[in-house]
Structure 1
Amino acid sequence: MSFPARIDVHQHIVPPVWAQALESRGLDSGGWAIPAWSAADAITMMDEQGIATGILSVTAPGVRLDNDAAGARALARAVNEYGAEMVRDHPDRIGSFASVPLPDVDGALEETAYALDTLGADGVVLMSNAQGRYLGDPDFEPLWAELDRREAIVFIHPAQPPMALLPGTPAPLADYIFDTTRTALDMVLGGVMSRYPKVKVILSHGGGFLPYAAYRFSGLTSTVVDTDRKAEDILRDLKRFYFDTALSASPSALPSLLAFAEPGHVLYGSDWPFAPQNAGSYYNHFLETYPDFTPGQAEAINHAGAEALFPRLAR
């Protein structure tokens, strides 16, 4: 392990039971193939990419694969126990975000309690939409209230939006950044980020295009959509988000992201193995050669921001 000993908040796990569940239904991740995964391969990749610890999560489509709510509860439990086993085997190298079976709110509450209290998960992963319902949905209020009560960390990963794919274009290429932005705006306009100030929310892939469009959202909301709301209040809630750099540490994205995000709110992400290692190297190069970091900014992205969120990983 060589400098910078990153903490990777956007790294994936592929539990066999989950891969088999997708295969049996003819599903994938928004037109993206499900790759092979093993803890040994993950640690090899991390050693080669300067990553000290990867916090693992199941990617889209999550654990609610059809209309079988009971099956989704069982799948969530199975993948979370598998992830916890990986953490027990490699406590310094692997962390875990637990999956929950939204839009089944009761099931999500039950699994949140089990994952955080019994399995010791580092947080919870939510898909950007649950069967087409976005995370500001009023029916999801009990889950947000419980996550806030626990001061939990929530990692939001995009899912395929409820619309057809562009021909020949898998959802991770374009639709995922759209869906991340859409659910984040839904949460802010629905009041989730203002009502629940103790929950910490990480948005994937640099927050989609939220940093770039934040002032569009705040200005048009306050002057056209809802004139009773102030632009600065919208911006305050948008700035509560954390952002990872997965597939987003580029010469065009980093200036906007760093100009918008609060200090310590930009965290390293790789998206491995759904983004192969050569893709990680491509974006790492931009991160490592970025010329305009202020003092301490690179260290905050690589590890210090995540250490503040996950004290057990602090060195």
Structure 2
Amino acid sequence: MHDSSKNGGTTRRAFMAATAALGVAAATPAAADASSTRRHQKPAKGLRIDAHHHFVPPGYVERGGPLPVFRTWSVQRSLEDMDRAEVDASVLSVTTPVLQVLAEDGNMMSRQLIRRCNDFGAQLVADHPGRFGLFAAIPLTDVEGSLREIEYAFDTLKADGIGLFTSYGNQWLGNAAFDPVFAELNRRKAVVYTHPVAPPWGSAIPQVNIALIEYGTDTTRAIASMIFAGASQRYPDVKMIFSHGGGTIPFLVRRFIREAAGNPALATLLPGGFMPELNRFYFDVAQIPSRPALAALREIAPASRMLFGTDFPYLTAAEHVTGIEQSGLFDTWERRAIDANIASLLPRLAESVAR
């Protein structure tokens, strides 16, 4: 279990942080033989950080917030779920639909609610040192409001990164309207976590939850928008994280590769093709702890670009730890890497965990 004490875990935590800074998990030799290869060494327990963990700020549910599972959210439930699966820390983010709707309005109510969400998230980080990080929200369609909130989030709250949705109305992340915001994020070399939303036209199959099909699809739209609109090249220092294994990207990647090579305009824009741009991104494994989905993701992304994520409170951390292990797709070293990769993106959080 996670050692929540700040004294007994100091040595282990310092060791984990030093190795996590390299983006890999800690390891100790299984034998004294100096000629032992990495495969003959026994990995030690390394960092496990959840990159996709939701929280519910006060007043969020009352505004018509998410599914009923959010009505029972509490910070204690978050910590208990983390401890059951030996998750050292989780990066907090708000989810749909309240901020999505207000952000699309681009009004002062959006700015005010987002500020309250970010303040509450930052307070959770302060109240539980080493257990939480924060992806701060911004009202992306409100450029002035977004720039102000980015400054506040990083300079005052010391947030770990920024949380965006994959689309806002009929605009996806590569849209030129968002260029001033991405330029500032690029200047700050920011980590940007994204969460999918439902498109404005709703579900094509009203009998099922709109998230089942549309969330994965909207993630794909956002990735395609970033690459084919040239945003991934314009803002190379923004470290983009896409949820749920990249949505449907693994199943459409061949089409995108052919389009990038065969369309003259895109061939000029993407002289290296589609894959070098896709390889700039990171993908969390939230909601895909099964062999078929993980196998598809592994075909387009190495373990070094995968991040442990849970989508708590919708699923548990234990489900993901078990699912990744039972998939049989990753050796112990790769599993440790998936658990710890985000530490190299968020050094402040890694250092906080190590204290």
Q: With structure 1 as the length reference, what TM-score do the two structures score? A: 0.90
Unaligned runs of 5+ in 1: none
Instruction: Find the partner of 1:140 among 178, 181, 192.
Output: 178
Question: Matched residues in 2 for 1:90 and 1:44: separation?
Answer: 13
Q: Is the 8 A contact 2:163 2:193 kept in 1?
A: yes
Question: Matched residues in 2 for 1:223 and 1:98: separation?
Answer: 39
**Offset at 1:174?**
1.6
Q: Which whole-Å deviations, capped at 9, do the CAs of 1:6-48 have from their partners, x for residues lacking one? A: 200000010012222x23xxxx44x776432211111011001
Instruction: Find the partner of 1:261 among 271, 281, 301.
Output: 301
Q: Which residue of 2 aligns with 1:175?
A: 214
Q: Is the 8 A contact 1:84 1:121 kept in 2?
A: yes
Q: Is the 8 A contact 1:204 1:245 kept in 2?
A: yes
Matched ranges for 1:2-151 at <5 A: 5-20=47-62, 22-23=63-64, 28-29=65-66, 34-61=70-97, 63-66=99-102, 67=105, 69-151=107-189
Question: Matched residues in 1 for 2:68 and 2:75: separation?
Answer: 21
Amino acid at match of 1:57: S
Q: Which whole-Å deviations, capped at 9, do the CAs of 1:47-80 have from their partners, x for residues lacking one? A: 0122110101001125253436110000110000
Matched ranges for 1:282-293 at <5 A: 282-293=319-330
CA distance change for structure 1 residues 313 and 227 in 2, over 3 Å: closer, same or farther? closer
293-302 vs 133-142, which moves further: 293-302
Q: With structure 2 as the length reference, what TM-score do the two structures score? A: 0.81
Q: Which whole-Å deviations, capped at 9, do the CAs of 1:154-177 have from their partners, x for residues lacking one? A: 001001112122212222222111
Amino acid at match of 2:262: T
Matched ranges for 1:152-163 at <5 A: 152-163=190-201
**Offset at 1:256?**
2.1
Q: Which residue of 1 aligns with 2:249?
A: 210
Number of corresponding residues: 305
CA distance change for structure 1 residues 283 and 177 in 2, over 3 Å: closer, same or farther? same
**Offset at 1:257?**
1.3
CA distance change for structure 1 residues 272 and 154 in 2, over 3 Å: closer, same or farther? same
Q: Which residue of 2 aligns with 1:189?
A: 228
Secondary structure, aligned partner of 1:252: helix
Q: Is the 8 A contact 1:32 1:171 kept in 2?
A: no
Question: Matched residues in 2 for 1:225 and 1:175: separation?
Answer: 30
Instruction: Find the partner of 2:280 among 240, 243, 251.
Output: 240
Q: Is the 8 A contact 1:64 1:102 kept in 2?
A: no
Residue 201 of structure 1 pairs with residue 243 of structure 2: no
Amino acid at match of 2:208: T
Amino acid at match of 2:78: A
**Offset at 1:310?**
1.1
Question: Matched residues in 2 for 1:133 and 1:62: separation?
Answer: 18
Higher alpha-carbon Rg: 2
Question: Matched residues in 2 for 1:68 and 1:138: separation?
Answer: 17
Q: Which has the higher contact order (CA 8 A, sep 6+)?
A: 2
Question: Matched residues in 2 for 1:62 and 1:267: separation?
Answer: 26
Q: Is the 8 A contact 1:214 1:238 kept in 2?
A: no
Instruction: Name the Cα RMSD after superposition.
Output: 2.0
Identity %: 36
CA distance change for structure 1 residues 231 and 289 in 2, over 3 Å: closer, same or farther? farther
Residue 297 of structure 1 pairs with residue 334 of structure 2: yes
Unaligned runs of 5+ in 2: 3-44
